[in-house]
């Protein structure tokens, strides 16, 4: 890992060890558990599934995530199982001609001080579980434990389907894209907390979710309010039978919206490719392939040390069976049809068609892609949303796992700095300030990328291709090719665009989290010093009857002392 350059002085030792509850044992939940356990917190995970299986396919670990995994002590294990991509080839759908290229490793690693790699989700999950099991005090993971309610004052208490009540200091909701916890973050936290305390009972996940979708009347303990997502207006209760146009609009804004796309996911083992020289060349080379065509695109690369070829195929969503509420069709474990897949890509180039012919029957997964509107908040009291529960990512810029890992690293930083449990909500607000805007910008970048990749053949497509060719040209003497950039502009494929890579991969959220907490700490110390100094000076007669200073020298001395004291 020659490309790894550590420059963050992070000492993972919590000032105040906490009892932390995590809902969900996905990549974000497990990474959060590891990061928080390493800093000295007690962590317990509650997972609804009865077992953790190695499902899934390839995912990207970009530098913004790999530097965090290095600090957690598992990057070495990850790199042993991962493939290191050397570049990305952008290609035409019809004839397989190369439009442009984008360099990856080792250039990216040297630039950002951390490597980029791709790995099977199941391998990353296994590495995380092994790391958790090897801790001096292993964390507890309870499987088959569905959370059905959370306390109304968001005080880190949950109710399980079995009826058991569990309390902690912080509740981390990492229950994925189909999160049942997300509904409690659809309105501003202050009003939610106030209403919840007034009711004084647990909010039922299933009841509240049903009501938010259907508006049925019922027990007022589970009454739900619908808010405008970007409004500071007070909440308005919506009762069943009285749902008006405005209420429906509020309700719709909280729901995921179809992008119009669906995706097939396939894994092709080496044994299926024997005898096809072109397919074996793709499997043996560590180059990502991006075929772009009208209405869809394909991303493919080798995983598991070049023993499997990972292919994700984006295509128009089928009209029938579309679920606007984001139901099971959001799951990437849903079975797809190989026959339908072959039919849709029948007009694409021979390389693509040949690859797809090798997919084992019954091994096609398909899911519909939904865009989730940003939430008003990720934090309510001592509860926080992370990962896909907070910011579901579309696959166009390959940041889903990385953004969840960023959440884990940032949380570990701010929660390691607490001097008392009274600072929990302040720490969660620092976490949100560091993470929310950034994650949502990366979320929204997928829309522009999707459009660029799916252009129909024509003038706009030719302009796009020209920009990609210009963006992929080598740089003279290691300097930016300003003339080419001015002529052609940025790469329309943001995943391959150097400026957007700088934003995605160059930011160190753990550093930003520590700096954010330190800014709050300095401010608090300044306020405390100022209050103490004013009391002393007033007693000494250096402050007039109206609170003003009697001389400028005293004021200047006081300011200097406060600043130096706050920094110490």
How many C-beta neighbours within 10 Å does residue 172 have?
32
Query: How many degrees, rounded to 5, is the angle at CA 198 between CA 195 and CA 201?
Result: 95
- Reduced to 3 states (helix: H, G, I; strand: E, B; else coil), residue 390 is coil
**Cα 82 to Cα 58: distance, rounded to the nearest angstrom:** 10
Surface-to-core class of residue 340, CB atoms within 10 Å of its CB (0-12 exposed, 13-18 middle, 19+ buried):
middle
Q: Any idea which residue has 């558990």 for tokens?
A: 33
Contact status, residue 46 vs residue 167, Cβ threshold 8 Å: no
- The alpha carbon of 91 is separated from its chain's Cα centroid by a whole number of angstroms, namely 28
**Cα 82 to Cα 120: distance, rounded to the nearest angstrom:** 8
Closest by CA to 414, choosing from 520, 527, 567, is: 520
Cα Rg, the chain, nearest whole Å: 26
**Which residue ranges form the domains of the chain, and what is each CATH number?**
2-87+109-182+375-451+504-516 (3.50.50.60)
DSSP 288: E
Q: Residue 132: CB partners within 8 Å, gap ≥ 6?
A: 30, 33, 34, 37, 138, 139, 141
Surface-to-core class of residue 285, CB atoms within 10 Å of its CB (0-12 exposed, 13-18 middle, 19+ buried):
middle
**Cα 158 to Cα 153: distance, rounded to the nearest angstrom:** 11
Question: Strands (DSSP E) along 220-357, which ranges?
Answer: 225-226, 236-237, 257-269, 287-293, 296-303, 308-316
Q: What is the pLDDT at residue 191? A: 42
Task: Spell out the per-residue pLDDT of the chain, length 568, in tens.
Answer: 667 787 787 777 899 999 999 999 999 999 999 999 999 999 999 999 999 887 788 999 999 999 999 999 999 999 999 999 999 999 999 999 999 999 999 999 999 999 999 999 999 999 999 999 999 888 999 999 999 988 888 889 999 999 999 999 999 999 999 898 988 888 654 444 434 433 334 444 433 333 333 222 233 322 222 222 223 333 333 233 333 333 344 445 557 888 899 999 999 999 999 999 999 999 999 999 999 999 999 999 999 999 999 999 999 998 754 444 445 555 555 789 999 999 999 999 999 999 999 999 899 999 999 988 999 999 999 999 999 999 999 999 899 999 999 999 999 999 999 999 999 999 999 999 999 999 999 999 988 899 999 999 999 999 999 999 887 555 544 454 444 444 556 888 888 889 999 999 999 999 999 998 888 766 655 655 566 555 665 666 655 555 555 555 554 555 455 555 544 5
Surface-to-core class of residue 81, CB atoms within 10 Å of its CB (0-12 exposed, 13-18 middle, 19+ buried):
middle
The backbone torsions φ and ψ at residue 273, rounded to the nearest 5 degrees and listed phi first, read -100, 0
pTM for this structure? 0.81
Closest by CA to 64, choosing from 568, 424, 442, 550, is: 442
């Amino acid at each position: 890992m020659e490309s790894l350059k550590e420059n963050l002085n992070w000492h993972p030792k919590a000032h105040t060890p906490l009892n932390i509850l995590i809902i969900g044992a996905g990549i974000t939940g497990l990474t959060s558990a590891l990061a928080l356990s390493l800093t000295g917190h007690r962590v317990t995970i509650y997972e609804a599934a009865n077992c953790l299986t190695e499902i899934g396919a390839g995912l990207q670990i970009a530098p913004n995530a790999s530097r965090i995994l290095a600090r957690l002590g598992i990057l070495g294990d990850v790199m042993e199982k991962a493939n290191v991509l050397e570049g990305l080839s952008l290609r035409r759908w019809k004839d397989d001609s190369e439009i442009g290229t984008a360099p990856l490793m080792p250039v990216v690693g040297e630039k950002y001080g951390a490597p980029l790699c791709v790995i099977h989700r199941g391998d990353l999950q296994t590495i995380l579980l092994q790391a958790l099991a090897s801790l001096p005090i292993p964390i507890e993971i309870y499987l088959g434990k569905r959370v059905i309610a959370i306390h109304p004052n968001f005080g880190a208490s949950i109710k399980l389907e079995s009826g058991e009540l569990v309390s902690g200091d912080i509740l981390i909701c990492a229950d994925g894209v189909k999160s049942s916890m997300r509904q409690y973050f659809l309105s501003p936290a202050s009003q939610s907390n106030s209403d919840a305390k007034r009711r004084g009972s647990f909010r039922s996940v299933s009841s509240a979710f049903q009501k938010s979708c259907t508006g049925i009347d019922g027990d007022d303990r589970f009454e739900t309010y619908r808010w405008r997502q970007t409004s500071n207006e007070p909440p308005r209760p919506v009762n069943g039978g009285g749902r008006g146009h405005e209420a429906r609009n509020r309700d719709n804004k909280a729901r995921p919206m179809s992008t119009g796309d669906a995706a097939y996911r396939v894994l092709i083992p080496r044994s299926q490719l024997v005898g096809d020289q072109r397919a074996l060349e793709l499997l043996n080379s560590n180059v990502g392939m991006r075929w772009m065509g009208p209405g869809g695109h394909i991303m493919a690369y080798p995983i598991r040390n070049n023993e499997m070829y990972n292919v994700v195929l984006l295509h128009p969503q089928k009209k029938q069976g579309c679920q606007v509420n984001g139901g099971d069709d959001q799951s990437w474990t849903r079975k797809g049809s190989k026959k339908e897949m072959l039919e849709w890509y029948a007009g694409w180039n021979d390389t693509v068609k040949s690859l797809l012919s090798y997919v084992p029957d019954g091994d096609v997964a398909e899911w519909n892609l939904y865009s989730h509107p940003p939430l008003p908040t990720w934090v309510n009291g001592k509860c926080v949303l992370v990962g896909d529960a907070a910011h579901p990512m579309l696959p166009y810029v390959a940041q889903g796992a990385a953004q969840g890992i960023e959440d884990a690293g940032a949380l570990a930083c701010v929660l390691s700095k607490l001097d008392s449990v009274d600072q929990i909500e302040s720490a969660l607000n620092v976490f949100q300030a560091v993470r929310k805007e950034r994650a949502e910008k990366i979320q929204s970048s997928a829309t522009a990328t999707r459009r660029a990749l799916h252009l129909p053949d024509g003038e706009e497509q030719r302009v796009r291709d020209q920009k990609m060719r210009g963006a992929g040209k080598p740089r003279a003497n290691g300097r930016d090719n300003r003339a080419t950039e001015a002529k052609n502009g940025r790469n329309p494929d943001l995943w391959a665009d150097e400026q957007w890579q700088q934003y995605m991969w160059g930011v160190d959220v753990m550093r930003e989290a520590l700096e954010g907490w330190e800014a709050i700490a300095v401010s608090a110390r300044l306020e405390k010093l100022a209050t103490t100094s004013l009391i002393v000076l007033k007693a000494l007669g250096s402050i007039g009857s109206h609170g003003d200073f009697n001389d400028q020298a005293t004021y200047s001395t006081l300011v200097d002392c406060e600043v130096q004291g706050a920094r110490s």
